[in-house]
Amino acid sequence: MNPSDVQTTTYRTPSGVTVHRNATPCDPEVLTDLVSSVEYRRGGVLSSGMEYPGRYDRWHLGYVDPCLEVSTRGRRVTASALNDRGRVLLPVLAGALDAVPGAAEREQGADHVAITVPEPDPDAFFTEEERSRRPSVFTALRSVVAALRSPEDTNLGLYGAFGYDLAFQFEPVQRHIDRDPADRDMVLHLPDAIVVRDRKRETCVRYTYEFTVPADGDRPEATTEGLPRRSEPTPPVVAAEVPPGPQPGSYAEIVAEAKKKFRRGDLFEVVPGHRTYARCSSPARFYELLRERNPAPYEFFFNLGEGEYLVGASPEMFVRVSGEPGTGQRVETCPISGTIRRGEDALGDAENIQELLSSVKEKSELTMCTDVDRNDKSRVCEPGSVKVIGRRQIEMYSRLIHTVDHIEGTLRRDFDALDAFLTHMWAVTVTGAPKTWAMRFIEQHETSPRRWYGGAVGVINFDGSMNTGLTLRTAHIRDGVAAVRVGATLLYDSDPEAEERETFLKARALLETLALGEEAARAEAGGADPETEGTVAQAAPVPAGLPGEGMRVLLVDHEDSFVNTLADYVRRHGAQVTTVRYGFDPELLDRLAPDLVVLSPGPGLPVDFAMSDLLDALAARRLPVFGVCLGLQGMVEHAGGELRTLDEPVHGKPGRVRVLGGRLLAGTGEDGVFPAARYHSTYSTRDLVKNFEVTAVLEGGTGQEPLVMAIEDPDARWYAVQFHPESILTASVGEGIVSRVLELARG
C-alpha cells in the first residue's frame, strides 16, 4: 500500500478528546474475514442488499473488538471498557454519566462505571411535546453522545441493538410477563476500527481511530496510541436442545380476543407475535446465507457478548435522521403493512401484486400505520413538514411481497435524533394503534418477553445522524438455539386461521435458512389495485392570514396515536399548541387560559377518560371546544345524548360525509360531499343527539338513520366531527376544517 493513500483527519470533541482518524483503502474481502471473527468476538456487521431510488443504497460495514460498550438493564446504565483502549476512554463516559440529572447509585471499577436514572417524579407536570425529554436511559445516552459529538466524522458512533422494553420508559404499560432481571435492554458498541464498503461508488475503506484524553486533576493525559485492538473472546456457540414451538391454534385464539377489542373500539389494529425455534451452531454462517437468500434493506449480525447474537434481514426502516443538528434535520421512516406470498414466477408475482393492491383490508392496515407514523413525527417535526412521499409502493422479498409507504419530516431545531427515535418507539407496524393500548394488549396476551424483537438495530452517529432498522425477520441466538418471533397486523376484518398462517409464512425464510446452515455444518463435519394509486394527495397549503395566529390551543390526549398530527395541523395555522394527557387538574385550564380546547380521538369510550368531568370544567369556563371522534362521542353523552355500538367497527377506512348545514363544514367538498377517514366502533344518530345541531352525516347510512358525522353548538362555540380530519384519507379537506375551527373559536 502506498502511504499517500492514507488520509488523516484530526478533530476535538466537546469533552476535550482529540480524535485522530486514518482512512485506508482495503480489499472488500476484509469484510468476509470480519464476519467470521464476529462469531467469536464482540462486534457487528451491517449491510443493505436492496437498491431503491430515494430510499435505499447497497452498502456494507463492520467492526470487531470495540473498545467500549454501553448497556442497560431497566434504568441501570453501564459503560464498560472492553480492552486497554477502552480504559483510556472510560473516564470520558464516566463524566458524561455523572452529568445526568439526578443520577443515583453510582458504581465504578477499573473496567466500568454505572448509574441508575431515577424514575420521573409522578407529580411532575410535562406536556406531550416534552415526553421525549423525560428522565430515562436515553437521558444518559444523550449525554454520552454529546461528550463525543463532532460533525467531522460520519461513521464514528454507537452501534448495536435496542430492546422492546425500552418503550416502557416512554409509555406507562403495566408488566404482566415475567422478565429475567439479568436481561439487557440496550447494547451499544463504540468501535475504533470500522470497514465501510460503498457498493455504489465501488470503494472499501478501513477507518481506524486513536483517542487522546486530556489530563484532569490527578489523572494524567492518556492516549490509545500503540495499544492493541483486541478484546476477550466470547464463549463458543454450542448447540442445545430446541424447545417446542407454539401450539397450533394458539395464535388464532389471540386474534379472536383482539377482535373483541376492535368491536369495542379499544383497538384499531394490533400486532401480537409468537416464537418458533431452530438450531443454530454458527451465527456467522447463518448471516451469510440469509444475506444471499433474502436480501433486505437492513441485514445485520451482532455478537452482543454474554452468549447473545442477533442475526436478521429486516425489511423495514425504523428511524433515519440526516443533516446537521440544530438546522432542521430530515427524519424518515418506511412503514410496511400489507403482505402476500411470492408467486411461482414473474406472472404469479404480478397476479399477487394485483390482489394485494386490490385488498381493502391490506390498504386499511397501511393507512392506519401511516396515520400513526405521521402522528409520531408531528410531535417533534416542524409544522407542515410531515409528508407522505411514497404510497403503497411494492417491495419484493424471497418469500413475500409488501406494500410500503415512505414518510419524511423536518426535525424542529430544539430536538435531536434521539427525540425522533423516542417519539416513534415502537413502530406501529410491530405494536398497533392506538399504540399504548396496543402495547398493553400485547403484554397481556403474549407468553414471553419480546426482548430484541420489535426494537431496533443500527447506529447513533456522533455527527448527530442516525440510521436504524426494526428488529424484524430476526433470530435471537443463545446457547445454540435461534428464537424467531413473528407477528401479523390484525384488524377487525382479520381471519384468525389466516393470520396464524401468515405468521408461519413470515418465519419460513429464516427457518429454512437456519436449516440450510445446519446441513452445511454437518457436511463440513462429514455427516449427512389493479395498478398503484400514484402519489397520495398531500394536505392543502395553509391559506394566507394564519387564522390561528396568536391563539393558545390546549390539546387533550386520550392515549391516542393520531394526536400529534392533529397538533401539527393546528400549528400550521399559526396557533401555539400544548398537548396534555387526560386526567389533569382543571386548574391547568386557568393557568394556560386556552383560546380553544381540542379533545383528541382515542380508544375505548368517553367514560374511560372521565370526559364528562372535563366538559363540565370547560363549560363552566365558557371555553370553545373542538372534539374529534371520541371527543364528539363525549360531547354527545355530556349533552344528554346516547351512543351505540356498530355491528362492525370501521378502522382506517374511508367514508363519504354529506354536509347538512352549520358553520364548521360550510363549503366543504363537492356539492357538500367529501371523503373522510373513519376510526370508530361507537356512533350516534340524529334522533340520539340532544342539544346539538347535527350538521353532517354519513352518506348512504346503514339502511336506518344515517350516522352523525358532525355536531355544532355555535352559541357555546362547541364543534365536533366523528371522522378524522388529520388522516391521509381526509387530506383534501382536513386542513381547511382545522382552519375553520380556529376561526370559529375566535368568535
Enumerate the active-site residues.
629, 724, 726
Cβ contact 653:360 at 8 Å: yes
Residue by residue, DSSP assigns 460-483 as: EETTS-EEEEE--SEEEEETTEEE
Q: What is the DSSP string of 447-464?
A: SS--TTTTSEEEEEETTS
- Give the helix ranges, DSSP H, for 621-721: 630-638
Comparing CA positions, the residue from 56, 80, 84 lying closest to residue 70 is 80
For residue 63 the three cell numbers come to 467492526
**C-alpha to C-alpha distance for 622 and 454, rounded to whole angstroms:** 45
Distance between first and last Cα of the chain = 76
> All 3 cell numbers of residue 743?
376561526
Q: Give the separation between CA 135 and CA 503, rounded to whole angstroms.
A: 36
328 grid coordinates = 432542521
578 touches 553 (CB < 8 A): yes
The one-letter amino acid code at 574 reads G
The C-alpha atoms of residue 469 and residue 655 are separated, in whole angstroms, by 34
Neighbours of 198 (CB within 10 A): 14
Q: How far apart are CA 734 and CA 726, in angstroms?
A: 6
Q: Helix (H, G, I), strand (E, B), or coil: what is residue 421?
A: helix
Closest CA to 447 of 256, 248, 254: 254
C-alpha cell at 221: 493525559
Q: What is the Cα–Cα distance from 109 to 509, expressed in whole angstroms?
A: 44
**CA atoms of 333 and 13, how far apart (whole Å):** 30
What DSSP letter does each residue of 26-81 carry, written as one string? --THHHHHHHHHHTTSSEEEEEE---BTTTB--EEEEEES-SEEEEEETTEEEEEE
Beta pairing class for 708-713 and 68-73 = unpaired
Helix (H) or strand (E) holding 20: strand 18-25
